Structure formats: C-alpha cells, structure tokens
Amino acid sequence: MVDMSTLPDLEERILKALQASGVAFEIIDCDPALADTAQFCAHYGYDLANSANAILVRSKSGEEKYALCIVLADCRLDVNKVVRKKLGARKASFAGADETREHTGMEIGGVTPIALPDDLAVWVDARVMEFDRVILGGGSRAKKVIVDPAYFQGLANCEIISDLANPIPAE
C-alpha cells in the first residue's frame, strides 16, 4: 500500500528516477480528459503501436499479490493464463481504480512503472522491448512519458516476460 503522505512529490520522484536511469526520455503534458491511450494517441498524433498500458493485476485466490503489467496498447494482457500462473493463484483479475490508487498512488490513465514502490513487481511483455521508445503514463492523467524500454532492464523489481500479452486481432 502506498502512503502518499510519506512520499516526495510524485512528479519529482518520476523525474529523478528517469534522470538516474541514464536512458533517453521525454515528458509530455496532456489534457487529463485525453489521458486514455487511444484518445491520447489520436489527439496528439502518436502511433498507438508505440504506446503501452500499465495495468495493475491482483490474485483473487490464495495469498493477496499484486503486479503492474506493461503491455503494448494493441495487445491484450493474458490474465487467465500467464498472469494467474505468475501470481501463483487459482484466479486473477484486473485491480479496480481504488486498488490501483492504493498500491501505486496513481489514477488509471496515468499509471507508470517509473518510481513505484520497490515491493510492487513490474512485469513487462517482451514485445515492449522491441521498440526504441515507448509511450507510458506519466504518473498522472496530465502527463505521459516517452522512454527507451531499456529503462525496464534497470528496475530491480522488473521481469521481462514473453507472451504476457497477445496482439488484439484486427477487425
């Protein structure tokens, strides 16, 4: 659980974590009403294929466990197989907005894997690593971060996982 009263300013923590990583990054301001990935990309002219979503998942059986999953925006997280197995649970699900805020200190639409508490696992779909840069939430619905995916390799609590997500079939 994140106690926001004991943490430095979130934007400051994110900026310091990015600077300390040594990887290329850019922080972009955006309209909070356009923070959802598809809306952001359409409005600001970014490619949806280079965008990733940060999704908090939880076990629904056994020991309570959480992980933040990073998947490309054109992919669907495999909650019922890969996530469930990684959590060691019989059932797993997406965390709700309140749980996401409680465990990350961030609102859905702005959640980022940058500057999270060390005890929260970060699982990145291997497809994310194929890009030179990826667009992520920036810690609030008013910011996005463009970062070299090499950033994830420097996170102690991060694991790169093949097939964590699957491409969404074209309609």
What are the C-alpha distances in Å from 119 to residues 17, 35, 54, 168? 16, 26, 16, 30
Given a cut of 50, is residue 6 above it in pLDDT?
Answer: no
Torsion of CA 158, 18, 111, 4, to 10 degrees: 100
Quote the CA–CA distance of 122 and 80 in Å, as a whole number: 18
Quote the CA–CA distance of 54 and 20 in Å, as a whole number: 21
pLDDT in tens, 9-39: 888 999 999 999 999 999 999 999 999 999 9
For the domain bounded by 4-163, which CATH number is listed?
3.90.960.10
Given a cut of 90, is residue 4 above it in pLDDT?
Answer: no
pLDDT at 81: 92
For 77, phi and psi rounded to 5 degrees?
A: -60, 135
Report field, pTM of the whole predicted structure over 0.75: yes
pLDDT at 58: 95
Decide: 104 and 4 in contact? Cβ < 8 Å: no
Given a cut of 60, is residue 122 above it in pLDDT?
Answer: yes
Given a cut of 90, is residue 113 above it in pLDDT?
Answer: yes
pLDDT in tens, 83-92: 999 999 999 9
pLDDT in tens, 129-157: 999 999 999 999 999 999 999 999 999 89
Instruction: Dump strand ranges (E) for the chain.
Output: 25-29, 52-59, 66-72, 75-77, 92-94, 121-125, 134-137, 143-147, 158-161, 165-167
Looking up tokens 């490309």 gives 72
Q: Which helix (H) or strand (E) holds 92?
A: strand 92-94
pLDDT in tens, 31-66: 999 999 999 999 999 999 899 999 999 998 878 999
pLDDT at 63: 85
